[in-house]
Amino acid sequence: MTIRIIPPSPGSAQPSEEPNGAIVSIPTAATLAPQAYEQLLHSCTAAMPNEACGVLAGTIQRIDGGAPVVNVTHVYSILNAAAEDGVNNSFAFEPASWIQTLYHMQNNRQSLVGYYHSHPASPPLPSASDMIGIREAAARDTSYWIISLANSARQPVVQPYWIHNDPNGQLCCSPLMLTEIRI
């Protein structure tokens, strides 16, 4: 099984500066455990033609003093409230499902490392409505994964991003290189 990897754009590995002047290194890569990959694809294909959505659990580790790496070990689907309203090109976490998932993760001592959703008919690029949702949720310093199912003749495209503010305080979604999926 092959996965199409969209490499980070030049300069995305650059450290960012916090308001207090400290330099912070942002992740440039992500890994996805095999069972997490299967859960992710199942969640996204089962939701068709609607968008799937959910959260990712795992760790963020710095290896040998390099940039941090996002390691996803578990995928948790959350009901898409927008789909329940008949909207198939948008997603919104259904509140009760979202709270139940957070409690489950907390009880199992798991760390939230990201959010995901699918694009059933478009590439894995953050849309204008994705960026509005990120701003409204005040999601920062976390991963954001988009799974494109636009080309059903080929494999889904899994593209992780890192959400952060650039040195000017502007919201950014920097692509992460998906470095490992073992099937």
- Condensed to tens digits (0 to 9), the pLDDT of residues 26-72 reads 899 999 999 999 999 999 999 999 999 999 999 999 877 788 999 99
Q: Is the pLDDT of residue 14 over 70?
A: no
pLDDT (tens digit per residue) in 145-166: 999 999 865 689 999 999 998 8
Enzyme catalytic residues: 51
Residue 66 tokens, joined: 């390099």
pLDDT of residue 162: 95
Mean pLDDT of 8-28: 52
Residue 119 tokens, joined: 């694009």
pLDDT (tens digit per residue) in 82-124: 887 666 778 889 999 999 999 999 999 999 999 999 999 999 9
36 Cβ contact partners less than 8 Å away, ≥ 6 residues apart: 56, 58, 72, 73, 74, 75
